[in-house]
Structure 1
Amino acid sequence: MTSSRILKILCLHLLSGALVLSQELDYIDYDIDDNSSPKVPRQSVTQQPDYDAQIMYSYECASECFCPSSYPFAMYCDHRKLKAIPNIPRHVRHLYIQHNDIEKITSKPFINATSLREINLSYNKLQSSKVDKDVFSILKKLIQLHLEHNNLEDVPSPLPKALKRLNLGFNKISKIPAEATQELTKLTVLDLCSNRLTDAGIKGKILSGMKSLMQINMCNNKLKSMPTDLPESIQQISLENNLISTIPEGYFKKTPNLLSLRMSHNKLKSVAYIAFNLSKLMELHLGHNQLSKPFFVPRTLEHLYLNHNDFKDLNISLMCPSLDLGNPNMLTFIRLDNNKLRGPLDYYAYRCFPRLMMIFYGNQRKDDEDDSEPQKYEKPKRPGATRLST
């Protein structure tokens, strides 16, 4: 065997040994050293851990109440003749304590109630003088507060900034102080029906600061004029059963998103012809007023209530001055009973309002009749297609 061949064999042995060694090293994660420990890669923390989510609650419940095992975050204390609010455990999110005999509210029961989202204290005997000033403001997560059907004379304040729904109906509230609403920028629903509100009680920019307000209910009060400075966000207004006699011209220019207006049982005698020229209005309740002149009906309107007014004729051409077959009027329902109309409604109404499904024409009054007694109404016959085409 030549020396060159022997040298090649030795090189092949050395190379194969190196390959085996390299394959074994591939399975070694780190060198084992008695004096050192393996290095663990550093982790970057992108957000703070939610410690509150890791707390193991005991889910205790006040002895006077009931907490269902299927949803322990709710505590039911309603219809139990309670005279005081029991201590509320930390984990409770929904407190139902309506229909009791509670007259006062102190801060003590709410000391640990940091998770509360909803409180229903309706149908109690709450008095404003017996409600601690800061009792609700400490509840930073509170979203809904029901205080209707009590004896409150004032709006509780301050209220938590997170509040979205505030129900104060059926109390004795006569005014809304500015400090009670100035922080409620997230409030979407405010119910003040069946109180003692007057024009002076909502004077100034009381409502304009509630930038998220979508629905305001002030029915069954003593208002003589439309509430001022409503926020642009408003979509539903309820003013039934007041003493309002007029709607200022251009009043709704500041509320372009209005969908529903309810003003039945007022003293309206006339409205500006284009008062309701709104691009989104769908529902308009004007029954039980003293209206006698037609007005422009916006294309988007679907339900129109004009019953129990003083209309002697209804000029459809004024209500619908033009036809647009490509963009038709959306009116589907109109109620006209208990007016002073003579003869059937002009069939042109079905051409102007092609989606019209129902007209409550019903009984009509004579000029010397009032509308104190409800009358039976019926749907008139819709004219045939041949007549419409002529």
Structure 2
Amino acid sequence: MVTLLRGADICAPERLGKQDILIEGQQITFIGDLPAEAIHGLPNAAVIDAEGLTAIPGFIDPHVHIAGGGGEGGYANRTPEILVSDIVRSGVTTVIGCLGTDGVTRSHADLLAKARGLEAEGISTYIYTGSYQVPARTLTGAVVDDVVLIDKVIGVGEVAISDRRSFQPTVEALAELVSQAHVGGLLSGKAGITHFHVGPYSTRLAPLHRLLDEYPIAPQAIYATHITRSPELLADAVDLAAKGATVDMTASSATTDSLRDYIRLGGDLSRLTLSSDANGSLPEFDSDGRLIGMEVAKQTTLYEQVWACADIPGLDLSQAISLVTSNTADALGLGHKGRLRPGADADILLTDDQHTIALAFAQGREIVRNGEPQIRGTFE
């Protein structure tokens, strides 16, 4: 299949102005002004007038409970699996699946099967091995083996620290875990990242600072999420990012305020990403640790908050888009994702002035038109 997008205003995420994008098969093969004679040489191409639309890379969501999550309130609180239509209507073309609190009744076999199912339905997927628990539960028996031998495993996570639901690992145990993932990444050409769930406890990111200060750990091997729980945690995340780690905000109604604070504190925007935590539970606990409320995180929140961030005075659209595209691709070692350029996967969103997705492509396949998903799950 050959598709030509004519005259879109491209944010790749850097601003490129109005240009054409040529898609051949699953990849972008050309960006620029395509001469008329060249267009005539593409007799079977689908030519789409993209004048008045903004072209941006498809979003990469680095933290999604694709097979469901939760369970903190008992068996009836297990959240459901995500639907591919919910993913794509939110502009997401690549997801990284994780388990979370429950690594007992939720298995990595389920997670891997769900990832393969979503990919068959039309998007790109990867997963983390492990869960909150340390030592990590895995598919093969070892984190390093999972990263090396299983194509979709790009690291380990989400490993819980500073939280009552954590297994309270020592820094030495975390160093071993991060090192296994890192070496697995070296051997397989993957990121080998360790994705950390950070809870509200007063130790905040102290275990991760100790990893970098006391062990020969590569900073880019560490990826901490949920950093907006408190002003103190956010400031701690700014310091961690300054050391070369990547930090992640979970999209919420407070994201714009958190991003302003991150910038005010001198946070490195190139080391920051946004995620949805979609289909994970959002439990509320009282001061004694008793569960008093539960909600389910939504994929759509991510899309809404990206555009809200783009409206922050002094923040360029390119910077806001980078938080869910190029920054995430760099952190996860996905060189073929997160940017509009020749050779990259044709994951493209075309949006109008109201931020509605007029068209979206995942690896060259149309997945959204006029805000409505064009692909659905098998049982939707």
Structure with the bigger RCO (C-alpha within 8 Å, sep 6+) is 2
Which structure has the larger Rg over C-alpha atoms?
Answer: 1
TM-score normalized with structure 2 length = 0.29
More helix by share: 2
More strand by share: 2
